[in-house]
Structure 1
């Protein structure tokens, strides 16, 4: 006998994601039982509705697979939203206002003031404005990109950074014209502060994680990739993504408090100084088996691979580009160990081979075109890229040849349209119009056959996936609307696929999630309105998330209007 559905959604605009490419909207109903999709379509769903079935009238609203944010720093985003003093650009539009926020702030139980969210694209460069603030208390303020922080003099004293401190590989220590410290530390140099910070109390981190989980479910998000937890956490963002955070996620899963399907990349080297030896040592420690050794369901929480920083970001001058860029006309460089370009390229190849031999996936941060192309060539030469589904994170390209080679070798691509939108004018100034126009070539990637995903990179950008979809369709910036004839625009349904079906491919989980089809996990997001056409894609923001299901269970719900 056909089992009865526990839940049926009718009168819906169901985007099944069953067809590769544009997506599919060939159904108006879906039924769920035992955490799986039981039936799809107006002919099949009525057959499984029984007397105990809960029936929801979607009133024409879109039903999409649960959103899978394939690059979301869950721990850091949780702390940014619920653990630190927030720096709202509207409330702190300049450095003077930011200093006032810090003057009013109360230190945490560890005696530090920790803030997060300033953006030099909005308030201007950091040139020592916070050095003298709160002289009796150590202060650290993390920026919105995750690649910079500023501290006051007391914090510099506490962590032991002086005017004679040499910057680590891939790092920049800010100095004024006289060589004196400004309190700014970028990329690899952030570790000098983060490594000396008292650890975030477990209770604070746990509460922040659970609050962030509720927030993400309220946005229709049911899966994510946490790209970088482990022993090198001090070199990434705010340093909260520690081995302790990795283990806390496991504790939440075992206690059945974790309802977000989470894929983790380990971090054995931060934003500078990666080498094969540290990755080998990290893997030899057994950390990659942390969850499997504890009997945690891999469909809920698993360690998939290793995050590798090949370079930094253009705004710090640490992205490796084929041609000079920025105010200082630099090309940047790889931030892995090596005394020359050739040695660094070779070391990157060895790092990727170590990860590949371990049977793990490599997620490679590469923001410059030279870094992207070096990483792609290293993957093609030394790894089983198609089997492992290694992928480039962010990625810039000097030509379509690299995209074509990625497609031929099964290398994936994960990028962030909302970052392009938010930092677009700064990027345009640094890179020039031609290179900025080639930035995030999504249509070219689609035509070539590259599996790409779109992600927030939170806390760098908003977790609201609707904003990401709009940014991918419009390709504008905060100051400039996108061009109607921009050749790299994609459709809204292509963008949705990149955050559902193709994101599940990156996770090696296309058999489980990302599509609405019988037998698939009942991870669903119901919107209050139908999916909008591309010419009115901004209407997506008017469509509320009225129900989120994770494995068939409601993790967010609000009354239909």
Structure 2
């Protein structure tokens, strides 16, 4: 029994419950209530919570487990202020890691650099020319390569853009070193295969980090067969410490075999596999999001469809007829429109409307399409920090009119759509309190802009809390086992250093996690200051 806490949880309907004591046994909640529970459970081991705030373990409804671990183990240029300084940091990393055959990492975002221009291979060549370098953009939809990597991939002036991708070129048609969406695969297919040892190192790094920020469950947005096998083995061996709701990557050659094998769920609910993740378009920052009309700041560009229009039907039908939830990355208004059209058509042909299908990101939506999410029971799975990261360029890309349906969380809430929330780590930082802050303020962590960016779409704190708990659990068919601290759910909870329900909302992002518990066992404790 934990007692003397300021406890908050939600029911499945979203009603707030407060408690001071919680009793759990064999990893599951028996009861929450007040100090009268001391008399009802006199033999229970008592842990004094010392008036700390307790909330359910938070669920990130869209992240990339091994991608996060990978980023923690590789060169990170997320906050570097220019391409030149980024290249220098990569050079320093290469010198310190001479054993590596490839230099990989990422986090760059040209929008934040003084010239706002894409980088080029020559900037990397100045520091690393003998080894191939490949650095992903912060959104994962573009990569920056040095000349050695381009040469290994055979990318030259004569290389054609692949369907759904683009090789950025100079005025003479030569590749500059930046590859958009599927053009990245020209290089990534030459990367060394990852071993189970590397997967384990990545998973350990990711798990440790997620526990430290209060995340106890993740919807892993795209795993291939090797990761599928790796996660299943760990689950069966009872060696997972974070709950994973894994989406099978649609391009994996083993997709049909995985679908035919059916759902996987271990006895202790650490791994659930019953969904597929596909990619309809690119991202806004790299101008790869597929739009009805041209980009406001690139009049000859409407973005990219990664899945071509004639490929939608066979993919949707295949997934849905196997009763797997279909989760589609769609950012631009065209990509979202086509996705909704195909969901509607496939429901008539093969069924599957009841599977809680999702559109991941759902960032830029035509106002006419927002009600269709509710009509078709499509769940918008959204990431609050995307709005505060994108706000410095979104209007440049879209113009004011298209912002009406962009990052429109409140519109979805008001029409009754569930709204699972996440971060898309490692694209954004995994800390869920950054996401909660962004959702309720529409501001960055400097509390800018004053009053919030498009504040009409801000959420209440209770709505946001639901997005990171009950709604996220619902989007994974798990609302009866996690997402709250009510009877018979797993005792996944965290203790935090401030009461987020009583402080000024601009202070929420500063919240620190003191302890993280999964299935009634402590898996993280902050070190004393």
SS at match of 1:480: coil
1:515 aligns with 2:447: no
1:155 aligned partner: 149
TM-score, structure 2 normalization? 0.91
| 2:410 alignment partner in structure 1 | 443
**1:14 aligned onto 2:7:** yes
Match of 2:342 among 374, 378, 390: 378
For 1:105, the equivalent position in structure 2 comes to 93
- In the alignment, structure 1 residue 266 sits paired with structure 2 residue 235: no
User: Does the Cα contact within 8 Å between 2:330 and 2:360 map onto a contact in 1?
Assistant: yes
Q: Which residue in the other structure is 1:554 paired with?
A: 522
The corresponding residue for 1:363 is 327
Q: TM-score, normalising length from structure 1? A: 0.86
| CA shift digits 1:259-311 (9 cap, x unpaired) | 11101111133xxxxxxxxx8x643333774984xx84371112121111111
Report what 2:267 is aligned to: 297
CA contact (8 A) 2:436 2:509 kept: no
C-alpha root-mean-square deviation of aligned residues, in Å?
2.4
Alpha-carbon separation, structure 1, partners of 2:195 and 2:460? 44
Q: State the Cα deviation string for residues 92-119 of structure 1 (Å, max 9, x = none).
A: 3112111211222234645111232211
1 CA distance for matches of 2:153 and 2:405? 41
Contact kept in structure 2, 1:13 and 1:25, CA below 8 Å: no
* 1:161-560 equivalences in 2 (<5 Å): 161-230=155-224, 243-269=225-251, 282-286=254-258, 289=261, 292=264, 296-297=266-267, 299-329=269-299, 330-337=301-308, 344=309, 346-383=310-347, 384-477=351-444, 480-483=449-452, 486-533=455-502, 536-558=504-526
2:47 to 47, 55, 59: 55
Matched residue of 1:363: which SS? Answer: strand
* 8 Å CA contact 1:385, 1:410 repeated in 2: no
Q: For residues 482 and 453 of structure 1, do their structure 2 counterparts lie closer, same or farther at Cα, with a shift above 3 Å needed?
A: farther
1:64 to 55, 64, 88: 55
Structure 1, unaligned runs of 5 or more? 1-7, 231-242, 270-278, 338-343
**Displacement of 1:432 after TM fit?**
1.7
Contact persistence 1:289–1:303 (CA under 8 A): no
C-alpha offsets along residues 54-103 of structure 1, whole Å, 9 cap, x if unaligned?
322241x322111111101111111001x2112142xx311211121122
Q: Report if the CA contact (8 A) 1:475-1:481 is conserved.
A: no
Q: Which has the higher mean CA deviation after the structures are superposed, 479-488 or 516-525?
A: 479-488
Q: Figure out how many residues of one structure are paired with residues of the other and give that number.
A: 517
Counterparts of 1:109-128 in structure 2, within 5 Å, are 109-123=99-113, 124-128=116-120
Report if the CA contact (8 A) 1:110-1:198 is conserved: no
Preserved CA contact (<8 Å) 2:433 2:510 = no
Q: Tell me, which stretches of 5 or more residues in structure 2 are unaligned? A: none
C-alpha deviation, 1:45, in angstroms: 2.5
Q: Is the 8 A contact 2:217 2:243 kept in 1?
A: yes
1:315–1:426 contact (8 Å) kept in structure 2: yes
CA distance in 2: counterparts of 1:497 and 1:38, whole angstroms: 22
